[in-house]
Structure 1
Amino acid sequence: MSESVLKSLSGPVVLLGCGKMGSAMLEGWLKLGLPADKAAVLDPNLTAESASALAAKGVLVNPAHAVIAAPSVLLLAVKPQVAPEALPAVAALVKPGTLVVSVMAGRTMAFMGNIFGADAAIVRSIPNTPAAIGRGVSVAVPSPGVTQAQKDITAALLGAIGIVEWVDDEALMDAATAVSGSGPAYAFLLAEVMAQAGAAAGLPADLSARIARATVAGAGALMDQSDLSAATLRQNVTSPGGTTAAALAVLMDEGRGFPPLMVEAVAAATRRGKELAG
């Protein structure tokens, strides 16, 4: 499905910003069958080596805007702080029928609509960092003008770096970002503090770090491959009266344990997202 969608695009996919996220997406699109000559990259900060490598594949690199055919998609992958200058510079590329897809954190539909027009077809999304290995999560919300065909195009483009989930209300994007966008940091912190706790219990620090990291990664992989809920997987590991039960009694304490802390953490991230969006 994704391959056929990308191959059938009438115009090019223009990628504004080719940093870590942008380059991961571009690599995924090419693997899925997007013709290289239908990809154009606009990024003045590309190194000469990166620009040459892309050009060798047939990708248009920093072409004059006048030579770019009417884009099927303009994908915005610049940092949000440069958006006020970077987006108006490419606004003329948005033609009738062009889909604008944003992976910028915090930049709202209203912000983009002020630049590209209130009637522009815009999808706002936020992938997370596992996109770098094709295991990302992207939560997306469409503007009213986005058609089903354009949602399919978005799903194909974002699906190149992981799974895509849709919401209908932009107000949910801050909470989604607090869970999926910030979520990898929570998992990394878990591995970090498990390692510290193991060292405090007497393990050599380097050994504790290795086994904590491998345990978190392995548990995530097991959950990904299982049809069971996270709660059921947890219960399956927990023998009544055993060591895991003793640890979980602390971690799941309703007053000071992991559940209330995570609720508080996600709420804090959600509030901060709203503040940054203005």
Structure 2
Amino acid sequence: MTGSSDKTLKIAILGCGYMGTALLDGWLQRSKHTFTAHVKSQASHDRLQQSVSTHSDRVTVSHGDDKTAQAAKDADIILLGILPGELSAFLKTPGLVQELKGKVVVSMLAGVPTSQLQQELASQSSGEDWKVARIIPTIGSRIGESVTLVADPEALPEHFKLIDEAFSSIGSVQHVPEAQMDAATAIGAAVHALAIVATDSVTDASVASGVPRATAQALTAACLKSAGALFNQGGMTPESMKAAMSTPSGITLNALVSLDSTVRAGIASATRGAIDYARSMND
């Protein structure tokens, strides 16, 4: 799902670290939403305040435990960007759970199922019909290219429309069954890792062969983007792209043969390892 909306939301990001900042950057460029960004320390506060200084009319930056509940006040959507192991203690912050009532609480905590968030909230305030969701965005949100995974329950609650609306303005939204969320998260992480290693390796090898670094990196990045678009929008599969580009004695085919003998097993192993790791995070 992609697109944007003219509706203005108020979004609070509690634990606005690297991912929260990437989301904030993307939204500030591509939406009319207003924000509260809450961080732990004065140093983080000052850095974030400086980075959003040109949007000071739309962003309020705060820090410290005594300001956490206030940061969530009046928000339509509250993003939890803390570390997974901090969830239980974080929800005990004075006044916070009270401010979460009736609002859409969105977890970005890798490895933490929606049911755990529900249980933690219920332990702080029973009898509430909590509006919760679990997502994993990507750092591409900074440039409007996030692939935001949304964990779907068996029956989709009404408030998920608000989540789709918010995140579709900074990239695509992919709904995934809750049971597959850890695997999907790991796949995204593995692909990003592969892109980093591939870009770095191709660039270094190109420079060693006499190509200017800026040229090599720009070409590598453009080709990765083109290949991704052909898979995602052009209707091609790896097999059809291979067939289309593999002319007899061709450069692409020779590169594929070399990669098959040296790299394919490593990619498969890294992907399966990432999935196993993601599934074990909350054991």
Contact 2:138 2:146 in 1 (8 A): yes
2:148 to 138, 144, 166: 138
Runs (4 or more) in structure 1 with deviation over 6 Å come to none
Number of the residue aligned with 2:112: 107
Q: Secondary structure at the match of 2:198?
A: helix
Q: Secondary structure at the match of 1:122?
A: strand
TM superposition shift of 1:162: 1.7
Deviations 1:85-133 (CA, angstroms, capped at 9, x unpaired)? 333323222213x211122222222331222238522221112222232
Aligned-partner Cα distance in 1 for 2:70–2:225: 47
2:130 aligned with 1:125: no
Contact 1:192 1:212 in 2 (8 A): no
Number of the residue aligned with 2:276: 271
2:60 aligned with 1:60: yes
TM superposition shift of 1:82: 3.5
Identity of aligned residues (%): 22
Deviations 1:26-74 (CA, angstroms, capped at 9, x unpaired)? 34334444443xx322223333353373883143333573686453211
Distance 1:68 1:267, change over 3 A: closer
Aligned-partner Cα distance in 2 for 1:145–1:34: 30
1:178 to 177, 186, 203: 186
Deviations 1:145-202 (CA, angstroms, capped at 9, x unpaired)? 7523x2221112222332110012x221121112113321111111223345556xx6
TM superposition shift of 1:203: 1.3
Aligned-partner Cα distance in 1 for 2:55–2:247: 58
2:55 aligned with 1:86: no
2:38 aligned with 1:42: yes
TM superposition shift of 1:24: 2.6
Q: Secondary structure at the match of 1:71?
A: coil
What is the TM-score normalised by the length of structure 2?
0.78
Contact 1:120 1:145 in 2 (8 A): no
Counting matched residue pairs gives: 262
TM superposition shift of 1:242: 2.0
Contact 2:31 2:169 in 1 (8 A): no
Aligned-partner Cα distance in 2 for 1:19–1:33: 20
Aligned-partner Cα distance in 1 for 2:180–2:243: 30
Aligned-partner Cα distance in 2 for 1:243–1:73: 50
Aligned-partner Cα distance in 1 for 2:38–2:203: 42
Q: Which has the higher contact order (CA 8 A, sep 6+)?
A: 2
Number of the residue aligned with 1:147: 157
Q: Structure 2 counterpart of 1:23, which letter? A: T
Q: Structure 2 counterpart of 1:246, which letter? A: N
Aligned-partner Cα distance in 2 for 1:138–1:35: 18
Contact 1:122 1:145 in 2 (8 A): no
TM superposition shift of 1:271: 0.5
Distance 1:224 1:17, change over 3 A: same
Distance 1:192 1:42, change over 3 A: closer
Q: Secondary structure at the match of 1:240?
A: coil
Q: Structure 1 counterpart of 2:89, which letter? A: E
1:167 to 157, 171, 176: 176
Contact 1:71 1:93 in 2 (8 A): no
2:243 aligned with 1:247: no
2:189 aligned with 1:191: no
Number of the residue aligned with 1:215: 219
Deviations 1:228-247 (CA, angstroms, capped at 9, x unpaired)? 42523343332122232122
Number of the residue aligned with 1:71: 75
Aligned-partner Cα distance in 2 for 1:54–1:65: 26
The worse-fitting range, judged by mean Cα deviation, of 128-137 and 219-228 is 219-228
Distance 1:222 1:31, change over 3 A: same
Aligned-partner Cα distance in 2 for 1:144–1:93: 27
Number of the residue aligned with 1:235: 243
Aligned-partner Cα distance in 1 for 2:26–2:204: 37
